[in-house]
Amino acid sequence: MEKLIFDRKCKCDYCGCIEICSITHHGTTNYNRLICVECAMSINQNEKLFNGGAITFDLNESTIRFKDFVYDIEKEENEIDV
């Protein structure tokens, strides 16, 4: 199981929404993708239903940082407008 660190606010590569995201390698080879909490939960739920109970992401051991994001798309957009 992959532990995630949700430490940036950006566009999720799975749903396209601007959310708090983490970097993952799920569904890819040799490159990173960004995933939000809701998409990670959805993938886990689908894995339980269709792959015999296997879970992809360990969300119980994952962390969410609300303060001091590594990257915040909304902050970056505000600075560009100034």
Query: CA 28 from chain center: how many Å?
Result: 14
Domain boundaries, the chain: 5-81
Interatomic CA distance for residues 74 and 64, integer angstroms: 18
Here the tokens at position 11 are 């566009």
pTM, rounded to two decimals: 0.84
Question: Would you say residue 15 has pLDDT above 80?
Answer: yes
What pLDDT, on the 0 to 100 scale, is given for residue 82?
44
Give 21-43 pLDDT, tens digit per residue. 999 988 777 889 999 999 999 99
Question: Would you say residue 1 has pLDDT above 60?
Answer: yes
